[in-house]
C-alpha cells in the first residue's frame, strides 16, 4: 500500500457476526445432473482421457486430459453426458464435464494412503471444498513463512468461514497439523472476528489474530497490515511477502480427508435471499445453482440478479445451471428493484470515493484513466495496485460509475500484458 494507515470512515459498514452457530447446514441435493469445471482450455487437439458414456463414481478422482495433471473429484455417481468448452469471467477458459446422475450411488474407494506431504496434498486435495491454494508452496523459493487460516469472510453478508471455524474446529486443527508437516511453514495463525476471540477453544495454530468489525478489514492485505503490522507494497502480493491465506473450509477439508480416508466433495456456502435472509447450506460440488434456488423456493424474474459472492465484490452470473464450485462461498439473489443502477455519467468530483477508500487511493483521478483504457498510466500515476478490491468506491459513487468493475478490468488487462511480455522475453 502507498499509505501508512488503514482508513476507517466514521460511518463504516460493519460485518455481521454469527454469535450462535446454526445447528447444521441445510443440505441441497442435485435434481439429476452435476457439472465439473476444469481450469484448462478444451481444444480440438486436446487428448481426452474421458468421453461421453463413461461411468463415474462418487469420490472418484478423474483427470480428463491424458497429457495434463488437472483433475476433479466426482461428487456423484452417473454417466458422462457431455464434455465441452466453457468461458468464464474475463474470457477465462474451462472444460466442463456434465454428468447425469444414476439411480443408485456407488462410492469409489479412497486413495490407498494419504501422506502429509505437499506432493500428496496437491495430487489429491487441490480441488477440495474451499480450494486449498497449495500451489503457493510449490515453488522452491516460495518464501512463505506464515499460513493464515481465514475464519472470516472478506465480503459482507457472507458467513461461510465463520460457520466453519465455529463448527469444525477439530477438522481445522487436524488440517493445520497436516499443513505444518507438509509445507514446513514456520507459523500458522487463525484470523477471527475480534468479538469472537474471547473463549476461542484449543487450536493447533501458533496465534489467534483479531479482525476488526469494520468492512473491509477481512481483506487479506488489510489483515496482514492490522494483525501482523506489515504493509504490503502496492506492487507485491501477500504471497510474495510470505503470507499464504487458506480459508477455514479449505483447512477443514484437508483434516476431514485424512480422518476419513476419503476425498471431500461437500461444499458449505451462504445463501442470501431477496429479503437479505442468510442460510448456511451444503451441496455437493457440481450441483446446479438452480437446484439450490428450487430447494429454498426462490424464484428469479426479469432483471433479478444472481451473484456469486457478497454484495460488494461478488460477480453476476447469467445461467442458473452454473455449478457450485470448490470456492463458491455464497449465492446472493437480488430483486430487480434492489439492483443498483450504473451509468456512463462523468465523475462529478464529489470526493466520496476518496474519503471511503481504506487505502486512500485517489480514485476520482484513477477512474478517469481507466474509463479511457489508459491502464498503465492509471497504475503508474494514481496507485491502481494499492486498491484492495473492496468495492466501496462503487458503493458510494453519486454518478453511479462502475468504478470497481473498471478496476477489475484494468488489473486483468495489465496482468495479460505482463504475461505477454514475459512470454516474448523467453
Query: Which of 204, 229, 260 is a domain's end point?
Result: 260
The strand ranges marked E within 310-349 are: 315-317, 330-334
What pLDDT score does 195 carry? 86
Q: CA 187, 165, 251: angle at the middle one, nearest 5?
A: 50
Buried-state track 280-307, b at ≥16 Cβ within 10 A, e below 16: bbbbbbbbbbbbbbebbebebeeebbbb
Residue 328 lies in a domain: no
> Do 159 and 244 sit in the same domain of this protein?
yes
Residues 134 and 215 in one domain: yes
The grid coordinates listed for 313 are: 465484490
In a domain? residue 243:
yes
CATH assignment at residue 222: 3.40.50.11540
Of 233, 260, 287, the residue at which a domain comes to its end is 260
Using CA atoms, how far apart are residues 285 and 36, in angstroms rounded to an integer? 8
Q: What is the pLDDT of residue 5?
A: 52
User: Within this chain, do residues 82 and 153 fall inside the same structural domain, yes or no?
Assistant: no
* 137 and 221 co-located in one domain: yes
Residue at which a domain ends, from 234, 260, 286? 260
For residues 72 and 139, state if they share a domain.
no
Q: Are residues 147 and 65 part of one domain?
A: no
Claim to verify: residue 197 and residue 141 sit in the same structural domain: yes
Q: Is residue 248 part of a domain?
A: yes
Helix (H, G, I), strand (E, B) or coil at 137: helix
In a domain, 300, yes or no: no
User: Do residues 56 and 136 share a domain?
Assistant: no
Q: 96 and 154, same structural domain?
A: no
pLDDT of residue 18: 81
**Which grid coordinates belong to 23?**
445447528
Kindly report the backbone phi and psi dihedral angles of residue 211, in degrees, each rounded to the nearest multiple of 5, phi listed first.
-110, 130
Q: Is residue 391 part of a domain?
A: yes
Q: Show the domain range for 396.
A: 352-425
Tens place of pLDDT for every residue, the chain, 426 residues?
444 456 665 568 999 988 777 778 999 999 999 999 999 999 988 899 999 999 999 999 999 999 999 999 999 999 999 999 999 888 889 999 999 999 999 999 989 899 999 999 999 999 999 999 999 998 756 689 999 999 999 999 999 999 999 999 999 999 999 999 999 999 999 999 998 887 677 899 999 999 999 999 999 999 999 999 999 998 899 999 999 999 999 999 999 999 999 999 999 999 999 999 999 999 999 999 999 999 999 999 999 999 999 999 999 998 999 999 999 999 999 999 998 888 888 899 999 999 999 999 999 999 999 999 999 999 999 999 999 999 999 999 999 999 999 999 999 999 998 888 777 776
Domain membership flag for residue 18: no
Please count the residues of the chain. 426
In a domain, 285, yes or no: no
Q: How high is the pLDDT of residue 2?
A: 44
Residues 64, 168: one domain? Answer: no
In the prediction, which pLDDT does 9 show?
A: 58
pTM of the model: 0.94
Contact yes or no for 247/220 (Cβ under 8 A): no
How many domains in the chain?
3
- Those residues whose C-beta lies under 8 Å from the C-beta of residue 243, and which sit 6 or more positions away, are 144, 145, 146, 148, 220, 224, 228
Q: Classify residue 344: in a domain, yes or no.
A: no
Q: Are residues 190 and 65 both part of a single domain?
A: no
Q: Is 78 in the same domain as 125? A: no
Residue 89: its pLDDT value, please? 87
Amino acid at each position: 500500500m502507498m499509505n501508512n494507515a488503514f482508513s476507517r470512515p466514521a460511518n463504516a459498514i460493519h460485518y455481521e457476526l454469527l454469535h450462535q452457530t446454526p445447528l447444521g447446514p441445510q443440505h441441497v441435493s442435485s435434481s439429476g445432473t452435476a457439472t465439473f469445471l476444469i481450469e484448462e482450455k478444451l481444444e480440438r487437439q486436446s487428448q481426452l482421457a474421458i468421453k461421453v458414456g463413461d461411468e463415474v463414481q462418487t469420490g472418484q478422482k478423474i483427470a480428463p486430459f491424458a497429457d495434463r495433471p488437472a483433475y476433479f473429484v466426482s461428487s456423484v455417481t452417473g454417466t458422462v453426458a457431455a464434455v465441452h468448452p466453457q468461458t468464464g469471467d474475463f474470457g477465462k477458459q474451462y472444460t466442463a464435464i456434465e454428468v447425469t446422475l444414476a439411480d443408485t450411488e456407488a462410492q469409489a474407494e479412497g486413495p490407498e494412503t494419504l501422506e502429509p506431504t505437499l506432493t500428496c496434498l496437491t495430487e489429491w486435495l487441490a480441488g477440495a471444498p474451499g480450494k486449498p491454494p497449495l500451489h503457493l508452496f510449490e515453488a522452491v523459493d516460495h518464501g512463505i513463512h506464515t499460513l493464515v487460516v481465514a475464519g472470516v469472510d472478506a465480503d459482507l453478508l457472507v458467513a461461510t468461514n465463520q460457520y466453519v471455524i465455529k463448527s469444525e474446529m477439530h477438522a481445522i486443527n487436524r488440517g493445520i497439523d497436516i499443513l505444518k508437516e507438509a509445507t514446513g511453514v514456520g507459523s500458522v495463525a487463525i484470523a477471527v472476528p475480534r468479538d469472537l476471540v474471547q473463549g476461542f477453544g484449543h487450536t493447533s495454530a501458533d496465534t489467534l489474530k483479531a479482525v476488526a468489525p469494520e468492512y473491509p478489514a477481512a481483506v487479506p492485505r488489510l489483515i496482514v497490515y492490522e494483525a501482523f503490522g506489515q504493509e504490503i507494497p502496492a506492487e507485491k502480493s501477500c504471497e510474495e511477502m510470505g503470507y499464504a491465506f487458506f480459508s477455514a473450509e479449505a483447512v477443514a477439508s484437508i483434516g476431514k480427508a485424512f480422518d476419513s480416508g476419503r476425498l471431500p466433495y461437500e461444499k458449505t456456502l451462504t445463501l442470501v435471499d431477496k429479503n437479505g435472509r442468510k442460510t448456511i447450506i451444503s451441496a455437493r460440488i457440481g450441483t446446479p445453482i438452480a437446484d439450490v434456488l428450487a430447494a429454498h423456493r426462490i424464484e428469479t424474474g426479469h432483471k433479478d440478479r444472481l451473484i456469486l459472492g457478497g454484495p460488494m465484490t461478488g460477480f453476476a452470473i447469467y445461467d442458473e445451471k452454473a455449478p457450485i464450485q470448490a470456492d463458491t462461498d455464497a449465492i446472493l439473489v437480488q430483486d430487480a428493484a434492489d439492483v443498483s443502477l450504473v451509468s456512463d455519467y462523468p465523475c462529478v468530483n464529489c470526493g466520496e470515493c476518496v474519503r471511503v477508500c481504506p487505502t486512500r487511493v485517489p480514485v476520482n483521478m484513477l477512474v478517469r484513466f481507466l474509463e479511457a483504457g489508459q491502464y498503465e498510466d492509471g497504475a503508474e500515476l494514481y496507485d491502481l495496485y494499492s486498491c484492495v478490491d473492496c468495492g466501496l468506491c462503487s458503493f458510494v459513487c453519486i454518478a453511479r460509475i462502475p468504478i470497481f468493475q473498471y478496476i477489475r478490468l484494468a488489473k486483468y488487462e495489465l496482468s495479460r500484458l505482463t504475461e505477454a511480455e514475459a512470454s516474448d522475453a523467453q
